[in-house]
Amino acid sequence: MIPGIAIDELAIPESLDGPGADDFRTFASIRNTVASEYMGEAAATATPDELLPSLQEQTWDHKKLYAARRDEEIVAIAVIVWSVERETRVTWVDVEVHPDWRNQGIGTALLDYVEGFAQASGRPLIQGGFLHQTIETGPRLESPTGFGSLPRDEPGVRFLLNRGYSLEQVYRVSFLHLPVEAATIEQSLAAALEKAGSNYRVHTWAGRTPERWLDGVATVIGRMPTDAPSGDLEIDEEPWDAERVRKNDERRIRAGRTGLAAAAEHIPSGNLVALNELSVPEDRSRPVHQG
């Protein structure tokens, strides 16, 4: 352990008015600072009120929070997640260090700590998603899925490679400024209809998922993690059902966000085959999140 650095578990508070709330706000602040640093205006930031319900929900996944402190000040955070219902050897890990405290061994110490927890718990395969800078020059680290690459010399990439991690998948984060010209939307829709043919119908809703579509939405969401190319990541089909969709809707409402959804129905079978979800914050000046 680095002298002057202490690592402890953060309790997930019952509310933002009770014990642990101040530490949780700091946790959310560091998370948002790191996201904004890498993604700017498209940052997937979340207020403490928005973040808390998703971490309180532990029916399907266990979640633990950790903090590295320097003289009682939280300077780095970690989240570990693992499945409740499945026997798994996978632990999902996220470690973020405040920019003012990097290159001092704090991230290494925190990652050592959570890796040790995963090993001791019998889930030694560590997987995680990490934000990286967009650097177009220099040597590249190619994704084994055939899509995307990372700058090999970017500090975060070097850090993970030196720790023994391997790149398995690249997610690209995109953003769209609204409004979009009507002609652009019409052209895109016409091209999609021509390709899809007459066997599909689109349904839209806001807020809670209509009862008639609960099972279909559960099926589509459950398949998404395994349908995407994932290299050698160990990703299981998630156990989604109608009750989980309902709880997900209620969690979003408690977070103060509005869900907008569009789903494609395969008319001959009556099954949903595609889903697009948007999460709209109360503050309309902030970005809308997809997914």
Specify the residue for token string 């016409």: 190
Find all residues with CB under 8 Å of 59, minimum gap 6, and list them. Answer: 84, 244, 247
Supply 140's token pair.
């590249």
Distance CA 165, CA 183 (A): 45
pLDDT of residue 137: 80
Neighbouring CB atoms inside 10 A of 55's CB total 18
Instruction: Quote the pLDDT of residue 171.
Output: 85
pLDDT in the model for residue 135: 76
Q: What angle do CA 229, 231, 232 make, to 5 degrees?
A: 135
Q: Hey, what are 178's tokens?
A: 């609204």
- pLDDT of the residue at 175: 84
Sign of CA dihedral 202, 208, 214, 220: positive
The reported pLDDT for the residue numbered 41 is 65
Domains in the chain: ranges and CATH:
5-129 (3.40.630.30), 182-290 (no CATH)
Contact of 150 with 167, CB cutoff 8 Å: yes
Closest CA to 63 of 113, 130, 114, 98: 114
69 bridge partner residues: 6, 74
Using CA atoms, how far apart are residues 76 and 257, in angstroms rounded to an integer? 27
Q: From the first residue on, what is the mean pLDDT of each consecutive set of 10 residues in the chain (291 residues)?
A: 87 95 97 89 83 94 96 96 85 95 94 94 90 83 88 90 92 87 95 92 97 97 76 78 97 96 97 96 90 75
Q: Calculate the CA dihedral of residues 89, 170, 35, 276 and round it to 10 degrees.
A: -90
Give the pLDDT of residue 1. 63
Contact 171, 129 (CB under 8 A): yes
Integer Cα distance of 67 and 75 in angstroms: 7
- Decide: 96 and 34 in contact? Cβ < 8 Å: yes
Contact 48, 16 (CB under 8 A): yes
Cα separation, 135 vs 148, whole angstroms:
12
Quote the tokens at residue 184.
């652009």
Residue whose token pair is 């933002």: 16
Cα–Cα distance for residue pair 109/155, rounded to 1 Å: 17
The pLDDT value recorded for residue 229 is 66
Maximal C-alpha separation, the chain: 67
- Alpha carbon dihedral 10, 98, 22, 130, in 10-degree steps, equals -50
